[in-house]
Amino acid sequence: MMVEADTLCNRIAIIADGKLKVIGNQQHLKDRYGSGYLLQLNLVKSDIDNQESAMAFVLKRLHSDATLATKQAKTLHVNLPRDLDLERVFRALYSPESKTEGRINQFLLSQSSLEDVFIALGD
């Protein structure tokens, strides 16, 4: 249902415990109340050395507050904070060092969803 709201609405109001918590457009809500960014990394190989190299690369080159959310085979999901410097992230991930040092094959960077905002405001 949040995907539809994100796609169809100009402004969104969130009510929790019978009280209006916030009203605004999607980008405003995500910027102000979202948890940050989710980085999905697909590694060259699935062994522990590659996973550790990738996380070391992320912590050194992207943001020191990055946290590993999940790992499965050759894929790592990393949570990045809101104060992320996107230019720095893309320069690092498109650099040759991302493959040699970080052992990263592909990546996907996405912003917090409206569902994340809703959960954060409901707590």
Which tens digits make up the pLDDT trace of 26-75?
999 988 988 899 999 999 999 999 999 999 999 999 999 999 999 999 99
Q: How far apart are CA 96 and CA 91, in angstroms?
A: 10
| Residue with token string 């994100």 | 6
Evaluated on CA atoms 92, 96, 100, 103, the torsion sign reads positive
**Predicted model pTM:** 0.81
CA distances (Å), 101 to each of 2, 49, 51, 59, 122, in order? 38, 11, 11, 12, 41
Q: Which amino acid is at 38?
A: L
Q: How far apart are CA 78 and CA 92, in angstroms?
A: 15
The percentage of the chain sitting over the pLDDT mark of 70, rounded to a whole number, equals 99
